[in-house]
């Protein structure tokens, strides 16, 4: 059971990444992406995708694929990728990250989302998992800023829009790329390592790793009181 007393944390805002932190979308999205790349003659493993693409903006991923292929992608590639990914989310029953609902219920300071994904994608994934009402009006995307992760732009943008100084924010990330973005913004970064190796997040410099989202509220209390 979670306690109902105030968190008494020094943080004023929790900024969540979306994919892999709020919604368990990465395994599904990565399979679709790998399948479409194979159709183009580019074979990539799941490990390749996690290493080279997870946490990055779609524009960055497209650029990397084009560089590997040595040719531009078809104009409708992104549209087809998005359509097939969304269809897979529905067909496979996209779910929230285990324990995130309980964690959100126990966090009594403001929170928002700052993702490399587009606003439309967040609305789809958070909507399918029932989380959208908790974040309505507090969705921030790397498409709204000049640079994607690992640059700090989207996290600084989210903090500014929420009216909170960066040093009072804590970021919850599951990718080394995203973790570096939060750290570059001057924020405390917690690394969620249920699917990502704890070691890779530690190398990125996160302040703490954790593997069960239900641990997050108490972790915020412990770190915020320091």
Write down all domains in the chain, each with its CATH number in brackets: 13-24+95-224 (3.40.50.1000), 27-92 (1.10.150.240)
- Own/partner contacts of 209-215, CB < 8 Å, gap of 24 or more, are 212/98, 212/99, 213/97, 213/98, 213/99, 213/100, 213/102, 213/103, 214/99, 214/102, 214/103
Within 70-197, where are the H helices?
A: 77-92, 100-106, 119-128, 132-135, 153-162, 176-184
pLDDT surpassing 90 at residue 183: yes
Catalytic residue among 17, 19, 24, 174: 17
Q: Among all chains, which residue has been given the structure tokens 């190796």?
A: 197
pLDDT at 167 exceeding the cut of 80: yes
Percent residues over pLDDT 70 in the chain: 95
pLDDT tens sequence across 92-139: 999 999 999 999 999 999 999 999 999 999 999 999 999 999 999 999
Report the mean per-residue pLDDT for the chain.
91
Who contacts 87 (Cβ-Cβ below 8 Å, separation ≥6)? none
**Model confidence at 49: pLDDT above 90:** no
Closest CA to 216 of 178, 188, 177, 181: 188
pLDDT band at 10 (very low <50, low <70, confident <90, very high): confident
Q: Catalytic annotation on 17? A: yes
Q: Nearest to residue 167, comparing CAs of 224, 121, 215, 87?
A: 224
**223 with 170: CB under 8 angstroms?**
yes
Tally the C-alpha atoms within 13 A of residue 94's C-alpha that lie toward its C-beta. Answer: 28
Q: Structure pTM?
A: 0.88
């Amino acid at each position: 059971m979670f306690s109902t007393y105030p968190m008494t944390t020094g943080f004023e805002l929790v900024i969540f990444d979306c994919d892999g932190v709020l919604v368990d979308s990465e395994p599904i999205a990565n399979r679709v992406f790998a399948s479409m790349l194979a159709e183009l003659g580019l074979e990539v493993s799941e490990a390749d995708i996690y290493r080279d693409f997870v946490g990055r903006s779609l524009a960055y991923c497209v650029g990397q694929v084009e560089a590997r292929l040595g040719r531009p992608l078809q104009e409708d590639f992104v549209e087809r990728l998005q359509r097939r990914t969304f269809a897979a989310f529905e067909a496979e029953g996209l779910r929230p990250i285990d324990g995130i609902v309980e964690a959100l219920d126990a966090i009594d300071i403001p929170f928002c989302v700052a993702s490399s994904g587009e606003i439309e994608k967040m609305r789809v994934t958070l909507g399918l998992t029932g989380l959208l009402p908790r974040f309505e009006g507090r969705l921030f995307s790397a498409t709204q800023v000049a640079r994607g992760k690992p640059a700090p732009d989207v996290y600084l943008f989210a903090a500014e829009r929420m009216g909170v100084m960066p040093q009072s924010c804590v970021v919850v990330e599951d990718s080394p790329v995203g973790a570096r973005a939060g750290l570059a913004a001057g924020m405390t970064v917690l690394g969620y390592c249920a699917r990502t190796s704890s070691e890779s997040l530690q190398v990125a410099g996160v302040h703490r790793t954790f593997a069960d989202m239900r641990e997050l509220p108490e972790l915020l209390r412990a770190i915020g009181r320091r």
